[in-house]
Chain A
Amino acid sequence: ELKVEQNPLFLSMQEGKNYTIYCNYSTTSDRLYWYRQDPGKSLESLFVLLSNGAVKQEGRLMASLDTKARLSTLHITAAVHDLSATYFCAVASFQGAQKLVFGQGTRLTINP
């Protein structure tokens, strides 16, 4: 059974600081997603990572994937308040590339 674990689950940080969210998964998968969710809203797609060593960057967010270690990271550079949200990683199960198992989510609060 595929399990996905994120840490930390809660993160409070100051603007301008850097931090990393980690996503570990238990079985082999060929794709990993990162999503953002604002309170009461649906999911916004951030990144899809398809291969070992993949790195993608958008603004202050950068995601990477190490399939051998079954680990993905979401790095936040020089955080700003607008990045406050809950971030989920999700891993495609072997039963289908679109059938996702989600991590618990990391609730990120960025303080001025």
Chain B
Amino acid sequence: GAVVSQHPSWVICKSGTSVKIECRSLDFQATTMFWYRQFPKQSLMLMATSNEGSKATYEQGVEKDKFLINHASLTLSTLTVTSAHPEDSSFYICSASRSDNEKLFFGSGTQLSVL
């Protein structure tokens, strides 16, 4: 079946540094990928829609200059958390599907801890 790979699984960084998270569709092409954030014991909140070859679409309240999304190919989207602060500590999950009519596959998630 289709697999979405996310890397790294966890990262610890110092406040003020930037962290890049990768999301890859391993056996299919994904023109659209989605990035979610999940705080402890809470639900998933959509951050942005990543579109191959064009700018990402951000949800209300998500700072596009802080959470940089690049979808340079049909199999790779990256989320960069710039100038990370402790309040950015969260579980970040990406998702993708082959087409609009197929089910979504989720990456394994990235636990970000900012010290």
Tally of A-B residue pairs with Cβ under 8 A? 50
Q: Which listed residue, B6, B42, B104, touches A100 by the CB 8 Å rule?
A: B104
Chain B residues, CB < 8 A from A104: 42-43
**Interface set, chain A 25-82, CB cutoff 8 A to B:** 33, 35, 40-43, 45, 48
> How many angstroms from the CA of A112 to the CA of B101 in the assembled complex?
40
**A12 touches B (CB below 8 Å):** no
Q: Which listed residue, A42, A90, A96, A101, touches B109 by the CB 8 Å rule?
A: A42
**Interface set, chain B 15-67, CB cutoff 8 A to A:** 32, 34, 41-46, 49
List residues of B whose CB falls within 8 A of some A CB.
6, 32, 34, 41-46, 49, 93, 95, 97, 100-101, 103-109, 111
> How many angstroms from the CA of A57 to the CA of B45 in the assembled complex?
27
CB distance from B113 to the nearest CB of A (A): 13
CB pair A45–B104 under 8 Å, yes or no, is yes
